[in-house]
Amino acid sequence: MNKFKPTPDQIDAAQLVFLAMTLVAKIKPIVEKYREEILEKHQFRIAKKYVAMGLEDQIILDPKDTFQLEDQDFLTYHAECKQARAAAKLHVDDEEFCPLLVAEHDVTKAEHVLIEAMTPATNVKLDQLFNHGIDDYKKYIELTLKLLAPFVGNSQAILPKYGIMN
């Protein structure tokens, strides 16, 4: 029986995914909290155009529904999110970006690097996973990370490698 021995590139790719996932876990509660507080404070209502289309007239309290805000309300919400982000000292390269969305996108980019690094061992390519749907993509990532986790090392060994101190 052949025992799997990952390459350094495969281990590095898994470390990047775990690091990106860790950053999301640290950022997410901060961003969700200030988003929800801003919506709770303002009690913005759903935009009239959506009510005219048959949606219930209601207060928007879930950040995932902010696309339904009136334009001016969204501008207020967005401006206050930027202020809260700055107060929380969350860095973004572009002031218009949400740190949580950036962090989640970094996870996706790291997953793509992992898939590419694993292709020689699995013969599975990114486009093949996309053709099979998101559930298969997620399952592939989960199984690959479980396979590589024993080779990755602990956070105290990994984080300094990326310039992050515990």
Q: Residue holding tokens 């995932």?
A: 64
Question: What is the phi/psi pair of residue 164, to 5°?
Answer: -115, 130
**0.75 cut: is pTM over it?**
yes
For residues 14-34, average pLDDT = 95
Cβ–Cβ under 8 Å, residues 137 and 130? yes
Question: 138 in helix, strand or coil?
Answer: helix
pLDDT over 70 at 160, yes or no = no
Residue 17 lies in a domain: yes
* Owning domain of residue 110: 8-162
Mean per-residue pLDDT of the chain: 92
Residue 13 covered by a domain:
yes
Residue 69 corresponds to which tokens in the numbers above? 């805000």
Could you tell me if residue 3 is inside a domain? no
For residue 2, is it within any domain? no
The reply to whether 1 falls in a domain is no
User: What 3-state class would DSSP assign to 45?
Assistant: strand
Does 15 map to a domain? Answer: yes
Q: Tell me: the pLDDT tens digits for 27-84?
A: 999 999 999 999 999 999 999 999 999 999 999 999 999 999 999 999 999 999 999 9
Q: Is residue 27 part of a domain?
A: yes
pLDDT value at 14 more than 70:
yes
| Domain annotation covers residue 124 | yes
Locate 72 and state its tokens. Answer: 């001016």
